[in-house]
Chains A and B, each alone.
Chain A
Amino acid sequence: MSHAMFSEQAAPTAQGLLAPPSAEPPTFPRVPVSGYSDCSQPFQLGERSFSRQYAHIYAVRLAGMRPGLERCARKQWGNDIALRKLSELQAGEKCCVVGTLFKAMQLQPSILQEISEEHNLVPQPPLPKYIQPSDELMLEDELQRIKLEGAIDVQKLVTGTIVAVYGSEQDDGRFLVEDHCFADLPPPLPWNGPSSDRFVLLASGLGLGSVSGEALLSTQLLVDVVTGQLGAEGEQSCAAHITRVILAGNLLSQNTQSRDTINKAKYLTKKTQAASVEAVKMLDEILLQLCTSVPVDVMPGEFDPTNYTLPQQPLHRCMLPLASTYTTLHLVTNPYQANLDGVRFLGTSGQNISDIFKYSSMDDYLEILEWTLRAGHISPTAPDTLGCYPFYKSDPFILTECPHVYFCGNAPHFQSKLLQGKEGQRVLLVTVPDFSATQTACLINLRDLTCQPITFSGFGADSEDRDIEVGH
């Protein structure tokens, strides 16, 4: 697969602008969007009622995924295996049970422990990972739960995953697992991708409102490349093939989250403004520049001014008065799903992946991303450790169709992988890096599902080499 990316096509005219002014410089029309439809309806919340308990979401999750898992179980262990509920288990009988995993972790932050007076505990500081060798896995179904042991990786798995285990109940009441399986990749979607090069720029973690100035120039360079200001003619003509920009969350920096105003006396904070106000104004200007040139989809993230629980609702238009006058601005939900030029995109701003990272031994964001796809669920740890709306009719995070591009934002560095499924699925997995730290964004070519990182840099007083590698 050739990387028909910017550089090769642009090379011939690379030095063309190192010359006296020519007569009429060309203007390239932006490649129009041939087909766009927003498929995020399941993630849009209308009236919200928080009077329900979270047990319902687990119930519908299990009910929704059970048929698929039973199919997988039969495929893997034979058509004649016994599918049992936990209440029907008989000691020693080899059977298959489908249920929800629950991992009992000693270090899992518990609000009850924190506020308990008899324990007198200092609240636990946030750790990068909360896993311990002593963690235990349980399987729960509609009525009962049972402890699991055996051929199942306790450290890797997380609470909320729906799994089918094959084994038998022991005398001591635990279930000895001989094998287990997940929902695996959902059924494939037909491919209607474009036949010529079309690019989508994926960026996340712009981090406006932070103190760092380096990222600001890189952000400006990003905007200039996309809008066709930067670069020689060849590069500009390639940039005209960028049909869309998706900003996957954390447009504002974590620094804008400071809530000093709550703790300080009113007279000290009277004339101060929340840091996010200035940052949102900057965001508005940047989005305006982009929107005059390319359709933009803006997803909220962990530090953006919208609701905290998943699914996050779109940012409100009144915060972006300059940019929202353009029809090219689309404020969308997190997670976000859409058909762009016949290619199905599905992705999040990264909270789902980073939450699994905290409670699993998996270290690699790409590995976790792939695992969620194979487990058939975007965010199994919601609502246990990740805030989530108490759905009760259906769980919208269950993956029912296999997207063509599956991404997560705010990853420590860029990674991508093309996954081929047994039923003909072809998925491009992309971990979009945090732009404020890495100055890197991703360019996806819709024609052949290839992905290339694009890095920006200025120059500083100290180093000439700005190859920033954020290890993790």
Chain B
Amino acid sequence: MADELYLENIDEFVTDQNRVVTYKWLSYTLGVHVNQAKQMLYDYVERKRKENSGAQLHVTYLVAGNLLQNGYVCHKVAVVREDKLEAMKSKLSTLASVHVYSIQKALLKDSSPLYSTDYDIVKSNLQHCSKFSAIHCAAAVPRTPPDAPRAPAQSQRGPDAASVVNGHGPPAARPPPQQQRGIMGMFAAKAAAKPQDTPKETKAEAKEAPGVSATSSKPSIKNSIMNNFFGKAAMNKLKANSVPEQLKEEKEVEKPSVAVAEPESSPNSVAEKPGKKAESARIQQKDKRSKTKRTDRSDDEEERDPENVKKKRKRIKQLQSDSSDEEADIPPSPTREEERAPSPPLVPALKTELEPASTEGSAAGRKRKRKRVLKSKMFIDEEEGCMGKTG
């Protein structure tokens, strides 16, 4: 019953779908141990050939063993076609393994289809690529996410330039995780500050203190979610664009992120604002430096269409805002949009509306104003349902 099933599956893959079925591909597809997959393939070949000796079936094998080469006894691992199997086996002085590697309908000229099949199946199973393997490693555990962003508390970078002994910095101060934590810390800080921004803008200034303290407890919970959100998306963008930048900026960023992360401990809006100002000032600096990169980044933006469609909504409302920044995955802030809704839909009006808004909550709102400048000036205006063009 269960036996027949895999045979049918393999038959379908090979004969009907005309696939190259490698043991690895079969293992992932049927969800079985790699060794079982190899045995299944062997079983299928045997049975099929017994039934129908003229079956159109080609097999490749994996052979491994000792080989004398260049004066060394080397362990050779080779994928060979069936017709060369015996020749390879005879070359090896000791045979360590033989098993079926793949079966396919057509005779393969070279081994690149084998590689592409394995590559594709591994690529779509990257998250658990050792699941069906014969070796399990207990030490291979992913790093826990809170590990990453909590660095700002530790990294009091007071003596930054102090110890330049022989070019060796303080070894403890620069382990690689720190660098990532710096980047993550920056996003964590922004995330922490963001939810605090929203209530502030809608409420009166007087209500800020309780608003801050209320929401300051939230970021700590939200943080892990935020960071994961930032982690992947931010990482993807950062990877392509701003690696050297980040390295440079990392130190500067860690300082403001320390300041901004502090709101949790000191829910004092006053203390917070200067901190944020400092951060936004630095980020402004960064933006100036990043201006040359902006064109490249906006190019990449255009290619990331699904994200763009979503972001376009916000951008329309915040056109011509101060400057762009490398990260832009700030979660949509619905309150802001509602705020803008009653305003006249024409762009110039929007623009003027923006300016006072931006100056008013300058320090607070500045972070959110950091949007990418739209390259193409076409947009769809939701309210009116018409197309508008910027000047």
Asked whether any CB of chain B lies closer than 8 Å to the CB of A53, the reply is no
Which one of B97, B122, B177 contacts A285 once the chains associate, using CB atoms below 8 Å? B122
A47 near B161: Cβ-Cβ < 8 Å: yes
Given A44-B174, A46-B170, A232-B98; A217-B133 close (CB under 8 Å) = no
**Inter-subunit contact B166/A229 (CB<8 Å):** no
Known A15-B98, A285-B123, A464-B87; contact A221-B136, beta-carbon cutoff 8 A: no
Q: Does A325 lie within 8 Å of B143, measured CB to CB?
A: yes
In A6-61, the 8 Å CB interface with B consists of 6-8, 10-11, 14-15, 17-22, 25-30, 32-33, 41-42, 44-49
Is B169's CB under 8 angstroms from A45's CB? yes
Closest B residue by C-beta to A60: B166
Interface-side segment among A70-78, A156-164, A286-294: A286-294
Q: Which of B6, B135, B139, B164 contacts A27 (CB 8 A)?
A: B135
Residues of B within 8 A of A235 (CB): 64, 96-97
Q: Do B180 and A48 touch across chains, with their CB atoms under 8 A apart?
A: no
CB distance from A312 to the nearest CB of B (A): 13
Let me know if A288 and B126 touch, CB within 8 A. Answer: yes
B96–A17 touching, CB < 8 Å: no
Q: How many A-B residue pairs have CB under 8 A?
A: 304
Contact B123 A321 (CB under 8 A): no
Contact A30 B96 (CB under 8 A): no
Q: Is the CB of A318 within 8 A of B246?
A: yes
| B contact residues around A191 at 8 Å (CB) | none
A218, closest chain B residue (CB): B77
Inter-chain contact A292/B72, CB cutoff 8 Å: no
Q: A391 contacts B43, CB within 8 Å?
A: no
Is A227 touching B135 in the complex (CB atoms < 8 A)?
Answer: yes
Kindly list chain B residues whose C-beta atoms are within 8 Å of the C-beta of A386: none
Chain A residue at minimum C-beta to C-beta distance from B296 = A270
Q: How long is the Cα–Cα vector from A292 to B122 in the complex, in angstroms?
A: 13
Contact of B167 among A45, A231, A331 (CB under 8 A): A45
B99 touches A457 (CB 8 A): no
- Beta-carbon contact of B138 and A317 below 8 Å: no
**Measured between C-beta atoms, what is the minimum distance from B173 to chain A in Å?**
7
Contact A217-B97, Cβ < 8 Å, known A29-B138, A47-B164, A230-B62: no
Question: Are the C-beta atoms of B235 and A49 separated by less than 8 Å?
Answer: no
B339 interfacial by beta-carbon distance below 8 Å:
no
The answer to whether A459 and B84 have CB atoms under 8 Å apart is yes
CB-CB < 8 A to B296: which residues of A? 270
Q: Which residue of A lies closest to B65 (CB)?
A: A7
Find chain B residues with CB under 8 A from A14 CB.
65, 95-98
Q: Does B4 contact A (CB under 8 A)?
A: no
A167 within 8 A of B: no
Q: Which of B96-128 contact A (CB under 8 A)?
A: 96-100, 108-112, 114-115, 118-119, 122-123, 126, 128
B74 near A294 with CB under 8 A, answer no
A213 interface residue per 8 A CB criterion? yes
User: A234 to B247, alpha carbons, bound, how many Å?
Assistant: 46
- The answer, yes or no, to whether A105 is at the interface (CB within 8 Å) is no
Closest to B147 in A: A327
Given contacts A227-B133, A391-B167, contact A453 B110 (CB under 8 A): no
Within 8 Å CB of A294, what residues of B? 137, 140
B179 at the interface (CB under 8 A from A): yes
| Cβ–Cβ contact A221 & B79, under 8 A | yes
- Checking A291, A317, A393, A467 against B69 with a beta-carbon cut-off of 8 angstroms, the contacting residue is A467
Interface band, chain B: 35 or more
A289 touches which of B69, B81, B129, B183 (Cβ 8 Å) = B129
- Residue B387 interfacial (CB < 8 Å): no
Measured in the bound complex, the distance between the Cα atoms of B40 and A4 in whole Å is 31
Rounded to whole Å, the gap between the CB of B366 and the closest CB of chain A is 26
1/0 contact trace for B164-201 toward A, CB 8 Å? 11111111011011011001000000000000000000
Residue on A nearest B128 in the bound complex, by CB: A292
Distance to closest chain B CB from A55 (angstroms): 15
Cα–Cα, bound, A233→B129 (Å)? 19
Q: In the complex, which residues of chain B have a beta carbon less than 8 angstroms from the beta carbon of A66?
A: none
Complex Cα distance, B111 from A467, in Å, reads: 16
**Which residues on the A side are within 8 Å of B33 (C-beta)?**
25, 27
Q: Is A316 interfacial (CB 8 A cutoff)?
A: yes
Cα of A18 to Cα of B41 in the assembled complex, Å: 9
**B96–A234 touching, CB < 8 Å:** yes
Specify which of A29, A232, A273 is in contact with B136 (CB 8 Å cutoff): A29
With an 8 A cutoff between CB atoms, is B1 at the interface? no
Determine the distance from Cα of A458 to Cα of B236 in the docked complex, in whole angstroms. 34
A133 within 8 A of B: no
B35 near A: Cβ within 8 Å?
Answer: yes
Given the complex of chains A and B, what is the CA–CA distance between A26 and B33 in angstroms? 9
Whether A392 sits at the interface, judged by CB under 8 Å, is yes
- In contact, A29 and B135 (Cβ under 8 angstroms): yes
Is there contact, CB below 8 Å, between A21 and B39?
A: yes
21 CB contacts below 8 A, A to B, read A7-B65, A7-B93, A17-B35, A18-B100, A19-B39, A20-B39, A25-B34, A45-B167, A47-B163, A217-B115, A225-B64, A227-B133, A229-B134, A285-B122, A285-B123, A289-B129, A292-B130, A453-B69, A454-B76, A459-B108, A464-B87
Known: A7-B64, A291-B140. 9 other contacts (CB 8 A): A22-B36, A217-B112, A233-B134, A273-B240, A288-B126, A292-B130, A327-B139, A328-B137, A459-B84
Please list the residues of chain B having a beta carbon within 8 angstroms of any beta carbon in chain A.
Answer: 3, 6, 23-24, 27, 33-36, 38-40, 42-43, 46, 60, 62, 64-67, 69-70, 72-81, 84, 87, 93-100, 108-112, 114-115, 118-119, 122-123, 126, 128-130, 132-143, 161, 163-171, 173-174, 176-177, 179-180, 183, 232, 235-236, 238-240, 243, 246-247, 296, 299
Please list the 9 inter-chain residue pairs (A to B) with the smallest Cβ-Cβ separation, ordered nearest first. Answer: A46-B169, A228-B135, A458-B111, A393-B166, A10-B96, A17-B99, A232-B97, A30-B137, A25-B35
